[in-house]
Structure 1
Amino acid sequence: MRSMLLPLHLATDARNLELVTDLDMSIDEIARRAAYEALGEDSAAVARHLKEEPSGVNHYGAVVGDETRLRQIVTNLASNTCKFTPSGGKLTIRTRLIHPIVLSGERKKEQVINSGNILNLQNVEQLNEEQTPDRIVVRIEVADTGSSIRLQDMAQSKLFSAFNQTEQGRHPSSAL
């Protein structure tokens, strides 16, 4: 995600749009924990590394996935935002760890509930801070202040159809 921010900053600056990022540091911490464990570090050493070198300062985690598709999807969404959001608008990119939910105390549980996580807490793998999952699920949100996609276009499954443009997309000037 971070590697996509520079081109997005350039695109939003060119259109006089504000780019807001809200990247969930718990994703980095789980990825870093897994990397340290893969190097043979015990749980005490991993905890020490994470405490002495917090995620988001100079240290970031790496998550393995389909980078090409992820880049394509986020870039396409951001590109559409730049096209259809009037100057002075805002593009927000947000990541959230969906699975597993790492719980350590009541405060974290409140954060999960307040973050809009729709998963049932009773059916979700709950990890202590010392555990590392074998897989994670991350939600990536791209939001903007531009013209919305009509409910009719979403209901007719036009959003993810190949080479299809919604009626709103054909008339970007109508949003101004």
Structure 2
Amino acid sequence: MIAGAALFSTPAGAQNLLGDFGDWILMGDDTMSLALTTDSDNIAFGLVCGPDCHIYIEPHEPCIEARSYPVTLETGADTLMVTMTCTASQSEPLLVMDEDKKFLAMIAKQESLLVTITREDGRLSQFRFPLAGSELAIGLALAASHYIAPPLTVAVPDHFAVPRPGKSLN
């Protein structure tokens, strides 16, 4: 599982709608920020940030967890080949990649993005996403990520360990 994949397990319903920017929305709370859009089939695409940010697509198609998939990202002006990794989420599998400044610059001020995913059987899945408002929504999600603290890890001393049935602490 990728670092930060736990971000995807937070239910969208727990998020607060922070703004509507063209075809994009911005959501957030004290654990994450999310800028997203959908295509005509309600396939989600966007940027999710906790302490780290990831670009994701929720293709509503199965993928093999932890497997990498070649993805072509095209605007009217540029093409970028990337690899996205399948990860589990609370509802459906997601394809994710780390935040990519080159990609974010590529989509700025463009009208749409064509995403082509090459599946394990060679089949191509294509999705077209509107980009109106993406620059502002993504910029605000990135800015909000600076205020999100990493999850706390608490070490429990051995003398506080709770025995489990059939297990001894010694």
TM-score (norm 1): 0.23
Query: Which has the bigger relative contact order, CA under 8 A and spacing at least 6?
Result: 1
**Structure with the larger strand share:** 2
TM-score (norm 2): 0.24
**Structure with the larger helix share:** 1
